[in-house]
Structure 1
């Protein structure tokens, strides 16, 4: 196990995201914001992997240095806790449209670590969780407006 994960009892909740980039075009616009979250110790990057899905459906890894000059991710070079396995990468690849790329990020929510530790010490455990995508919230609000209109 990586030194980064040596004391699981002290960790905050761990989440993952798969972010698809249509046409494999990454502008890098969001990466300074990601770095800011790391610098402010709101999150800790455990794994960061980039993949590309070719027109024939083949999924392959993309090296950070191969993402193009407009995206400087050298600060994340070597961000790997080995939590992401080939099965995870394959599953993310199945979600992509051909010709697109994706970033797969696994991160610890440092902001929630004290709360999570307190809950574990008291014997509490998470029995369900989830995330509501913004698109689902917007669709729900549109439906409510349509019913009211």
Structure 2
């Protein structure tokens, strides 16, 4: 992260993936896909946290550096900025179910960095962004298909 100037940064997003009690698996296919995105230059990982929420609601946060076996994540761990603070952990874990485990990923969208830099140089600033859940897209497409069948 240190070698990137602030003017060159792309949009930064985060995702939280929650696993029900006793079903967490942060290895395998998920890790392979994450490493693939990094290697392809699509994203740059800024921070990764593992959150464990006890049945009593108490949250334990672990950085990758706290983990014993990193496997393919070893290369990513060496470049993390560890951006998230204790207040962030409390906010991010609020939606978690008791007994669950979640992975928090903060990443820069490298694919969008040139556009974001150009927008800033032109005097623009990001005033909103969002994400449409895939379930909403599927529901919308299914509703359109139903309307088309009814209209035939």
Match of 1:90, SS?
Answer: helix
TM-score by length of 1: 0.83
Equivalent-residue separation in structure 1 for 2:141 and 2:86 (angstroms) = 38
CA 1:119–1:63: 2 relative to 1, 3 Å: closer
Bigger Cα Rg: 2
Alignment match, 2:90: 90
* Structure 2: unaligned runs, 5 residues or longer: none
1:143 Cα deviation from its structure 2 partner: 3.4
1:82 Cα deviation from its structure 2 partner: 4.0
Alignment match, 2:134: 134
1:102 Cα deviation from its structure 2 partner: 0.7
Alignment match, 1:25: 24
Alignment match, 1:60: 60
Equivalent-residue separation in structure 2 for 1:65 and 1:83 (angstroms) = 14
CA 1:133–1:68: 2 relative to 1, 3 Å: farther
Alignment match, 1:10: 8
Count of residues in Structure 1 that have an aligned counterpart in Structure 2: 146
Alignment match, 2:99: 99
TM-score by length of 2: 0.81
Equivalent-residue separation in structure 1 for 2:80 and 2:44 (angstroms) = 11
CA offsets 1:63-100 (integer angstroms, 9 cap, x no match): 5477786x733333355424312122111211111121
1:147 Cα deviation from its structure 2 partner: 4.5
CA 1:66–1:26: 2 relative to 1, 3 Å: farther
1:108 Cα deviation from its structure 2 partner: 0.6
